[in-house]
């Protein structure tokens, strides 16, 4: 994707450029995990995607020439280089062409392979280790959070609390989240949030706990 991909909004696009551009670009709004070597992980939105590139929206500071990777739902990884940046957006040229329809279907869990596995699309996880509190039956337990997504978290338990059906997870810097246990093996547990963490809230938190370099 070249500088022409800067014109990805319908408001700013050039109809002539779109008419002659191949392959066809598809408008979407997928949340992903943006990774840049040595700079941690951050949320992003994929606004437009084609076989050769995509446009990202992210608070994460990026520079032309940066090599990045974006993990979508179901663990799909899109790799490429930043071609342009402007006001919280960036154009990416893929390392190799992709099958756009397959990528979108997999992210939605509607691809043949996903249906065969009965896979449920999972929000990208961020590998952030921090201390949190899990409140069960009005009793507060200190836990170690090992990863976090908009929809849940993995917790390391120093002891096995009496896990209630609905609990509250208190992560410093984020609003307390009501959650329920999805799985537990005695030493760790996965919790699912009743209400997802809003994109803006999680993006701001990630920028605070792991500032980009």
Interval 41-89: pLDDT, tens: 999 999 999 999 999 999 888 999 999 999 998 788 999 999 999 989 9
- 190: in domain: yes
Provide the b/e sequence for 10-26 (b: ≥16 CB within 10 Å). Answer: eeeeeeeeeeebeeebe
What is the rounded distance in angstroms from the CA atom of residue 169 to the CA atom of residue 129?
14
* Number of independent structural domains in the chain: 2
Do 82 and 135 lie in one domain? The reply is no
Does pLDDT of 20 surpass 70? no
- 122: in domain: no
SS3 call for 83: strand
What is the rounded distance in angstroms from the CA atom of residue 27 to the CA atom of residue 14?
15
* Kind plus residue range of the DSSP H or E element containing 16: helix 15-20
Output the pLDDT for position 4: 36
Do 9 and 86 lie in one domain? The reply is yes
Does pLDDT of 112 surpass 60? no
**Mean pLDDT score, 116-124:** 62
The dihedral over CA atoms of 192, 194, 197, 199, expressed in degrees to the nearest 10, equals: 100
- 102: in domain: yes
**Mean pLDDT score, 14-22:** 39
Does pLDDT of 213 surpass 80? no
Write out the residue range of the structural domain in which residue 26 sits. Answer: 3-117
Do 22 and 58 lie in one domain? The reply is yes
- Using an 8 Å Cβ cutoff, are 58 and 32 in contact? no
- Using an 8 Å Cβ cutoff, are 167 and 134 in contact? yes
**Mean pLDDT score, 151-180:** 88
Do 98 and 172 lie in one domain? The reply is no
Do 79 and 145 lie in one domain? The reply is no
Spatial CA neighbour of 125 closest among 199, 43, 212: 43
- Residue whose entry in the numeric block shows the structure tokens 């994460």: 60
Do 107 and 165 lie in one domain? The reply is no
DSSP-derived secondary structure for 90-113: EEEEESS---HHHHHHHHTT-SHH
Do 27 and 75 lie in one domain? The reply is yes
Query: Which of the four pLDDT bands, split at 50, 70 and 90, describes residue 109?
Result: low
What's the pTM? Answer: 0.77
Instruction: Identify the CATH number of the domain in which residue 189 sits.
Output: 2.40.10.220
The mean predicted confidence, pLDDT, of the chain is 82
Output the pLDDT for position 126: 94
Give, in order, the Cα–Cα distances in Å from 164 to each of 14, 63, 136: 56, 46, 6
Neighbours of 176 (CB within 10 A): 12
Spatial CA neighbour of 78 closest among 96, 61, 62, 60: 96
**Interacting residues of 53 by C-beta distance below 8 A, sequence separation 6+:** 1, 5, 80, 83, 91, 92, 93, 94
- Using an 8 Å Cβ cutoff, are 132 and 169 in contact? yes
Output the pLDDT for position 205: 94
Supply 117's token pair. Answer: 């596995």
């Amino acid at each position: 994707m070249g500088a022409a991909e800067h014109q990805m909004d319908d408001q700013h696009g050039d109809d002539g450029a779109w008419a002659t551009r191949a392959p066809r670009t598809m408008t979407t709004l997928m949340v992903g995990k943006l990774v840049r070597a040595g700079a941690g992980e951050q949320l992003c939105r994929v606004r437009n995607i084609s076989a050769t590139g995509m446009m990202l929206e992210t608070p994460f500071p990026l520079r032309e020439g940066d090599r990045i990777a974006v993990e979508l739902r179901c663990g799909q990884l899109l790799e490429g280089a930043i071609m342009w940046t402007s006001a919280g957006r960036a154009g990416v040229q893929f390392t190799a062409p992709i099958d756009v329809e397959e990528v979108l279907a997999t992210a939605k869990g509607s691809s043949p392979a996903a249906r065969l596995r009965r896979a449920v699309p999972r929000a990208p996880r961020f590998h952030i280790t921090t201390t949190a509190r899990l409140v069960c039956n009005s009793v507060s337990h200190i836990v170690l959070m090992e990863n976090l997504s908009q929809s849940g978290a993995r917790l390391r338990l120093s002891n096995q609390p009496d896990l209630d059906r609905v609990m509250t997870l208190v992560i410093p810097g984020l609003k307390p989240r009501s959650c329920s246990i999805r799985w537990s093996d005695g030493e760790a547990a996965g919790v699912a949030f009743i209400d997802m963490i809003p994109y803006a809230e999680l993006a701001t938190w990630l920028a605070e706990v792991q500032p980009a370099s």
